Structure 1
C-alpha cells in the first residue's frame, strides 16, 4: 500500500526542524491553497472566515485526489505570509494594519481543475461565501532563514529582532520575500507556552 504523501515527512528540514536559532536552508517550489485578507488575526472576522474556508476545500481536494486519482495525502498545517503597507506597523505589532495570506500545502499533482471542482463541492455543502476566494498559489522562496519558535505568537519579537538586527547583517544577507509562519500546534488545544511555530524569511546575499 502506497504511503500517504505528508509534507512534514517528505520535507523534514522544512516542516519539522529542530533548530531554535536561525539557520539557512533552500525551500523547493511548493503548491498551496491560498486566501488573502487583512486585519488583526485575533479579532478579525475576515481571518476567521478565511480559516473556515480553507479547510473544507483542503479536505475536499484530499478526498477527490484519493478517490479520482488514487493518490492520498495528509492535509498540511496552516501557514501564513504576513506584511503591512507600512512595515513599521508590522514590526510594532499594530495588528489591525496587518495583511496576510493564509496557506495550506497540497501536493504538486493537484491541478487547478481539481481545486476549482473542490471549491464548487465545498460551497454546495457549506454556506461559506469565502470559499469562493480560495485559489491556488505557488511559492518559490528559495534560500530562507528559518527557526523553530516555541511559545506564544506574541513572544516572537525577540527572535525576529535577532534575525533583522544580528543574523542577517552578520551573514551579509537581506530580505527578499514575506515573513512566513507555519503553525505546527493547534492553539485551541495547546498551552501558549508550548506552541510550536516555524518562522521563515526568504533572503539573499547583499550586493553592496
Structure 2
C-alpha cells in the first residue's frame, strides 16, 4: 500500500517560520474556491465553509481508490477590502471580502472535481455547493511568514511586510492577501494558531521605488 501524501510536508509554499519574511516563487496551484463577503465570524462565512470540505473528501476517496491516498490540505483564504486599511489596520471585518480555498492535488483534474461535486450533490447537499468552483491560482513571486497567535494580532506583521520589507526590497504588492491555516481553528486556542501569511509581489518600476507599496493589483485566479 502506498504511503499517504501530505502536501504540507512536500510543497515549498507550506514552509514558513515565525519572524522570517521569505521571498519564494509559488507555482500555479489548483483549488476548490468559494467567494464571499463579510465578517468571518458571521453566518455567511460559516455557511460557505460547509461546501468545500465534502467535495475535498470525495476527491480524496476517489484518489485513494486509485491507489494514491493523501491528507486533505489545510484551509486557505484570500482576503481584501475596497479600502485595504479596513483589513490591515482598522480591521473592519464587515468590509472584508474573501475567497475560501482548498488545494486540489496536481494529479486530480477538472473531471475529478466534477464527479466529486456530483457525488456530494446526491447526499446532504451544502447550500452553497453550486457556487463552488475549480480554479487555478497563479501567484508567482510572493513574500510570506508564519504568524502564531490570534488572527486579530496579525496587523503588526502585515504592517512590517507591506511598509518595511516590500519597499526595502524594491517590490510592489500585486494580488490579494493570502492565509494558510495550519491549525484547526475549532480546536486550537487563538494564542496557539499557526497561520502562513502570504503576499504576492512584483519588482517595482524605477518610477515606483521609494513610494508606499500601495493598493495591491488584482490577482490572477482562473
| TM-score calculated relative to the size of structure 2 | 0.88
2:3 matches 1:3: yes
Higher helix share: 1
Q: Which runs of 5+ in 1 are unaligned?
A: none
Report deviation, 1:169: 1.1
Q: RMSD value over aligned CA atoms?
A: 1.3
Report deviation, 1:159: 0.5
- Aligned residues of 1:33 and 1:137 also touching (Cα < 8 A): yes
- 1:109 corresponding residue in structure 2: 107
- 2:24 corresponding residue in structure 1: 25
SS in 2 for 1:24: strand
TM-superposition CA deviations, 1:22-56 (whole Å, max 9, x none):
1111111111111111110012x221111111100
Report deviation, 1:19: 4.1
2:13 matches 1:14: yes
Taking the aligned partners of 1:24 and 1:70, their CA distance within structure 2 comes to 35
Alignment of 1:19-98 (within 5 A): 19-43=18-42, 45-67=43-65, 69-91=66-88, 92-98=90-96
Q: Which runs of 5+ in 2 are unaligned?
A: 207-222
TM-superposition CA deviations, 1:111-141 (whole Å, max 9, x none):
1111111112112111312111111111111
Alignment of 1:42-191 (within 5 A): 42-43=41-42, 45-67=43-65, 69-91=66-88, 92-191=90-189
- Aligned residues of 1:5 and 1:107 also touching (Cα < 8 A): no
| TM-score calculated relative to the size of structure 1 | 0.94
